[in-house]
Amino acid sequence: MSWRKTIFLAVVLAVVAGLYLWDQQRVSRQKTQEEEQKRLFPWKQEEVSEVILERPSDTIHLVREEGKDWAIKEPVKARADQEEARRLVEGLLRTRRDRLIEKEPSDLQPYGLNKPEYVIRVRAKSAEEQRSVLLGAKNPTEVYHYCQLQGGKEVFLVSDTLRRDAQKSLMELRDKSVLAFDPTRVRSLSVSSHGQEVLLLKEGDKQWRIGEPNGLLADADAIESLLFRLSRLRASSFQDKPQRPLSEMGLEPSERRILLGLKDPEEQKVLLVGKEVQEEAAEGGKKARLWVKLEGDFPVVQVETSQLGEIPLERDGWRSKLLIAFDRDKVQ
């Protein structure tokens, strides 16, 4: 084979390879564009600023302002569970059109879209960037739902996961933390009940004393354990508008009052602890729960009794069990 022929074949091979790569990239771009066109909500997680879930039972309205966390605006005003809100948005953004059923249906009733059971509204950062999705009946396979963009004509199928996202309860999406604080920032702890009070003061980084700076040495491990439990306290249920008087719940006056003094006086937290009740547990049987609320205009919540644990109401219950305290490294 002559060198001219070799060069010619090499050039032809390079051109063919180039055309093949170009075609592959074209096909890949086309597939990407097609996938993007199938997305119901064409935005990124960080671009979404508002989600509204309209259901037969209620409407949940979530809002995220610039540089802030997700908050619930409706049916109550409350902080949202940030991880649950993120998962909800992630699920909505993942939803794709599965199959076109009809381009311009004359009757929406067979699809359950004349009176859709769910309406999902998502808005990006600008007011113009918003889209509403109508979710209708299940198709015969019961794996997909009939769906339509509000203002559009096409009826198409979407996965049942969209319906599950639309059904997320207020309890799932709500922040269930009762007390938000950093235990290491607590400088004092007061526990009172029916006129009897125990005051605990932190001395340095680890030591606690009872009643006053030079008072009896307190059980630091017991105090740190209580602070840890309080910081992890989670609501089992909420009553934003209590159905019975606070006095019947043991909250007015409270059975116990726990005051946390933090480094910044404005960060002071006061937890009112009420009566214990036996409530039905999700897994069956009864579970002991306590009525609690933050002092002031806050909702009444229930927490599991086991979360709070034992809280001594007398000074002796907080005394250090050490006979003598010393630093082993300083012993000669």
What pLDDT is attached to residue 27? Answer: 42
Average pLDDT in the 123-152 region?
89
Q: Over the stretch 255-275, which tens digit does the pLDDT of each residue have?
A: 999 999 998 878 899 999 999
Q: Over the stretch 34-70, which tens digit does the pLDDT of each residue have?
A: 445 568 899 999 999 999 999 999 999 999 987 789 9
Average pLDDT in the 155-168 region?
94
What pLDDT is attached to residue 248? Answer: 94
The pLDDT-based confidence of 220 (bands split at 50, 70, 90) is very high
pLDDT value at 313 more than 60: yes
pLDDT value at 14 more than 70: no
What pLDDT is attached to residue 320? Answer: 87
Residue scoring higher pLDDT (29 or 9) = 9
Residue scoring higher pLDDT (129 or 303) = 303
The pLDDT-based confidence of 172 (bands split at 50, 70, 90) is very high
Q: Over the stretch 320-330, which tens digit does the pLDDT of each residue have?
A: 876 555 555 65
The pLDDT-based confidence of 32 (bands split at 50, 70, 90) is very low
Residue scoring higher pLDDT (213 or 298) = 298
What pLDDT is attached to residue 328? Answer: 58
What pLDDT is attached to residue 25? Answer: 56
Mean pLDDT value across the chain: 86
Q: Spell out the SS3 assignment of the chain.
A: CCHHHHHHHHHHHHHHHHHHHHHHHHHHHHHHHHHHHHECCCCCHHHEEEEEEECCCCEEEEEECCCCCEEEEECCCEEECHHHHHHHHHHHHHCECCEEEECCCCCCHHHCCCCCCEEEEEEECCCCCEEEEEEEEECCCCCEEEEEECCCCCEEEEECHHHHHHCCCHHHHECCECCCCCHHHEEEEEEEECCEEEEEEEECCCEEEECCCCCEEECHHHHHHHHHHHHCCECCEEECCCCCCHHHHCECCECEEEEEEECCHHHCEEEEEEEEEEEECCCCCEEEEEEEEECCCCCEEEEEHHHHCCCCCCHHHHECCCCCCCCHHHCC
Contacts of 158 (CB under 8 A, 6+ apart): 40, 95, 96, 97, 98, 135, 144, 145, 147
Residue scoring higher pLDDT (235 or 24) = 235
Domain extent listing, the chain? 45-173, 183-322
pLDDT value at 23 more than 60: no
Its pTM stands at: 0.78
CA dihedral 174, 179, 185, 188 (to 10 degrees): 170
Structure token digits, residue 12: 């032809």
